[in-house]
Amino acid sequence: MHKILLILQKELIEIRQQPILLMSMILPPLIFTVLPVLVFMLMRSGVSGSMKSVSNIAFSYPALARMSPIEAMQTVTGMQFSVLYVLLPGLLTSIIASYSIIGEKTSRTLEPLLATPIRTWELLVGKSLAALVPGVGITWLSGILFIISLAFLSASPQVFATIISPGWLVLFLIWSPLLALISIAVMVAISARVNDTRSAQQASIWLVVPFLSIFFGQLAGVQVLGVIFTLVVAVVLAVLAVAAFWLTVRIFQRETILTRWK
């Protein structure tokens, strides 16, 4: 445990010393938080020329059947923005994890670390936590700001309750860190095989696409995103996260990396 904490401390210090990395972590959550606030403010002031057409699409979702056009618009728009908080942890953690492996290889600091007597799983747990903690922490912080903004700007309590549903809260609080863990594991595994951060990041981000299809299925009225369903999927994600990390430890051959990454 002590070695893991040392790796975590080292990684967090290096993150703070990288202005570009910090900016890449701050800008997406800032945009995801500010943009819906601006859109909801415009909607409340009635600035929208396509309200009728959008509301017609919105009424295909059963929960919106008794809403006014402005309520339906806000609900559909809010649900579209809320899905970003499922994407955000994978995006942020992939940025950090790519630097943690490939970035260290580029700067010639990974090889001395791999040559130490630390176990592979301890090394990967420390690096994974260094990506998970800030990534999920920033996501939860921006998500809380999003929730507070909706509480003040929603046209009615029904709009707020439909967007910030119990099912979405399970996605936000449980799915997002589990998807982030899976993304980190895949990121580390791919980083052990390639030298290009973009390739690794793109592969890890695509992991969330099947789970986003569930969310959009709810938006189309095909799938009900209830608490029981989301909790069952969360259990599946937890199993996948453990399996992905175990597989990553097996794939991460430090001796091969030391000889090949010269």
In tens, the pLDDT along 219-242 reads 554 455 678 888 888 898 899 889
The beta strands (E) that lie in the chain are given as none
3-state helix, strand, coil in the chain (%, to 5): 80, 0, 20
Cα(247)–Cα(245) distance, integer angstroms: 5
| pLDDT value at residue 29 | 87
Residue whose pair of structure tokens reads 């790796």 in the numeric block: 7
pLDDT tens profile 2-17: 778 877 787 777 777 7
| pLDDT value at residue 147 | 93
Asked if the model's pLDDT at residue 159 lies above 50, the reply is yes
Half-sphere exposure of 73 (CA within 13 A, CB side): 23
Q: E strand or H helix at 142, and its extent?
A: helix 120-153
